Amino acid sequence: MNRPDELLRKAVHDLAGTPQLPADLVTHAILGGRRIRRQRRAATALGAMVAVIALATPFIWLHPRSAPSVTAPDPTAAELRVLPPPDDNWRDAPLELPGGWVVTGATSTGGPASDGLVLDRSQNRYVKVDKYEETWAAPRGRFAAVLDHDRPGDVGLLDVPTGKVRWVRTGQLTLNPEWSPDGTRLALTLLDKETGSSSLGVLSVDGSFQTFPVDTSSGWANRGPGQYLCTDYCLFTWMPDGKQVALQQTDPAVPRTESKPHARRGLQLFSADTGKPTRFVPARGDAAGPYSWSPNGRLVVIKGQEATQLVEVDSGRVVRDLPTIDLNSATLVWVAAERLLLISAGHATLLDPTGHPLERRDLPPELTGLRIAVAPSA
């Protein structure tokens, strides 16, 4: 179990003893998880101070973490081309990956405020961002999004070359800001603590911000389920066109349990300009962003209820299960018509659509345990 899951489950366990269920258990669990993280962060800071005084150890930039638990493909030496590992000066140039993509940044999703890394394309080198719990690098352009968990109703737009931050008030708890493919807009999943429903927030790099309510509620407090029912971990994610977003939809006919992901009936698409629904896609799972969709638009990689799957977009037909790839602790993106890039367990591996590994490069140990952002090199 990875650290965010551990914290979320602990928060859910804390809530289980309350006499009355809250309006949205997941929302309160996430808030509880962030409270637990702040408590642990304070304890960690005190321990680190004592250790520094006692040992006088030097500061280590982006300290390594233990590798996440994930089963990666098992290539043989005869099948796999292994690229040279990055050298000690890898931060001084864009880190190239198999398939021609690069690392654009890395973030903690709730750890100490010293883990952010962003590619400054004006200088073609990486800079650290050590003031915020979360730092989400854009795929191109000069901006990154930052979150400070002590100001949950704000999102910061970091101008990477200058280091200046412009804070924009959203008024609600924000989950996993996601950049449009052109790096000009953020899709924000905003949670209403009272109703348990979600809103789509769209934030542009010029600071303009719009909110579009979407009734995703699960029927707490004697209410029926929302029009766009979504339970479990629900996020708005960009479509490749940068004009629409997708939101997974829970299947109301399937019993739900917290022991495994909730069954999905498909993905509902919305306009990022108006918030209005545009199209329903019968892919029964969770898409992770604009690079989950194949370049020709025919296939999509989803996190299904039992396994990662390659699914036909128009029909929802499962083309192939990819059981060795766990999207809870790995990233899988399309980089070309017949090539996918897997980031997991300290490696970047180029795969064909069957999951067969073709090329691999080790990642710097400083990135282990962080969520890594990748994008085309240009």
Positions of the chain with pLDDT lower than 50, given as ranges: 1-28, 31, 34-73, 75-78, 221-222
pLDDT at 63: 32
- Whether 332 is covered by a domain: the verdict is no
Q: Considering its fold, how many domains does the chain have in total?
A: 1
pLDDT at 212: 96
In tens, the pLDDT along 45-88 reads 434 333 333 333 332 233 333 334 444 445 444 489 999 999 99
pLDDT at 114: 62
Q: What is the pTM of this model?
A: 0.80
238: helix, strand or coil: strand
- Whether 236 is covered by a domain: the verdict is no
- Whether 16 is covered by a domain: the verdict is yes
State how far Cα 185 lies from the chain centre: 16
The set of residues, in sequence order, having a beta carbon less than 8 Å from that of 220 and lying 6+ positions away, is 21, 22, 23, 24, 196
362: helix, strand or coil: strand
CA distance 316 to 293: 13
Closest CA to 280 of 246, 253, 304: 246
- Whether 171 is covered by a domain: the verdict is no
- Whether 97 is covered by a domain: the verdict is no
CA distance 358 to 349: 7
- Whether 38 is covered by a domain: the verdict is yes
The set of residues, in sequence order, having a beta carbon less than 8 Å from that of 191 and lying 6+ positions away, is 24, 27, 30, 172, 173, 175, 198
**Residue 51: domain span:** 1-60
pLDDT at 5: 43
- Whether 53 is covered by a domain: the verdict is yes
- Whether 309 is covered by a domain: the verdict is no
